[in-house]
Structure 1
Amino acid sequence: MIKLQVIGNLGKDCVSNTVNGKNVMNFTVAHTEKYKDSTGAQREKTIWVDCAYWSDRTGIAPYLKKGTQVYVEGAPEVRTYQTQDGKSGASLSLRVLSIQLLGSRASEGGNGGGGYQPQGGGYNAPSQPMNEAPIGGDSDDLPF
């Protein structure tokens, strides 16, 4: 098996469909790489990956919004085609096996509809430092 891993931003909102009784979520992920060319000029190269996630776990679909940063992993497929002017073209698509939400674009307000916000207010620090013994207790006692 060939595995492809992509970290990038969604180019548009996810589209959910049912094909032959199975659920599929389609979306595109863009990965932009910055590099210097032979003259030393800063350049950018963006690769677009068409993704199809065949799964009954459609609960993630509302979070797959344009600009959301994701990690996707799956099996790559290269599709070739002919353009209207007769030239050959190719596109990279990915049959997604797993997906993780990483966040949303910083330019969007709030979490942009794509970030995960934990319930319950997050982690609470202990009221007493872990390396100090409780007042009036043995210094040999472990803090847990």
Structure 2
Amino acid sequence: MIKLQVIGNLGRDAVVNNVNGRNVINFSVAHTERFKDSTGEQKERTVWVDCAYWSDKTAIAPYLKKGTQVYVEGGPDVRVYQNQEGKQGASLSLRVQNVQLLGSKSGSGNESTPPNGGNMAGSISNGDPVEDDLPF
């Protein structure tokens, strides 16, 4: 089993689609890594991850807005295709099993209340009920 975990900000608002009678929430997450190169100069590298959350639990979609910080986990999903020049290509995306809202970028204008009544660390996962297992 391969498990991928990503923490980052949504690059655009999530979109709910219906594919062959099943709901899928599509969104992209960007993670920016800061590092120093061999000369000691500060650099940034941003990695974009396309995410597909196949679930009937679409109530979270309105809260997946551009700029919102999220934690997503799931498995890799490889799609093979043929481009316009006839060459074969492949894309890697994340088939989401769990998504957690971590917060929003300051000044993003996201005034909505998350589905768990204001706790931005809410979690929605496939198949498992959301439970609070904290001892206090």
Note whether the superposition's TM-score is higher than 0.5. yes
CA offset digits 1:60-86 (Å, max 9, x no partner): 000000000000000013446676678
Amino acid at match of 2:38: S
- Rate the CA distance shift 1:51–1:117 in 2: closer, same or farther, 3 A: closer
In structure 1, the residue matched to 2:26 is 26
What is the distance in 2 between the residues matched to 1:31 and 1:64? Answer: 16
* Deviates further, 47-56 or 69-78: 69-78
Unaligned runs of at least 5 residues, structure 1 = 121-144
Select the structure that is richer in strand: 2
Give the TM-score of the pair, scaled to structure 2: 0.74
Aligned residue pair count: 118
What are the within-5 Å matches in structure 2 for residues 29-40 of structure 1? Answer: 29-40=29-40
Give the TM-score of the pair, scaled to structure 1: 0.71
| 1:103 is the counterpart of 2:103 | yes
Check whether the contact 2:60–2:115 (CA below 8 A) recurs between aligned residues.
Answer: no
Query: What secondary structure is seen at the aligned counterpart in 1 of 2:100?
Result: strand
Unaligned runs of at least 5 residues, structure 2 = 119-136
RMSD over aligned Cα, in angstroms? 2.6
Amino acid at match of 1:65: K
Query: What secondary structure is seen at the aligned counterpart in 1 of 2:105?
Result: coil
Deviation at 1:106, TM superposition (A): 1.2
In structure 2, the residue matched to 1:5 is 5
- Give identity over the alignment, percent: 69
What is the distance in 2 between the residues matched to 1:118 and 1:98? Answer: 15
- Rate the CA distance shift 1:104–1:87 in 2: closer, same or farther, 3 A: farther
Query: What secondary structure is seen at the aligned counterpart in 2 of 1:48?
Result: strand
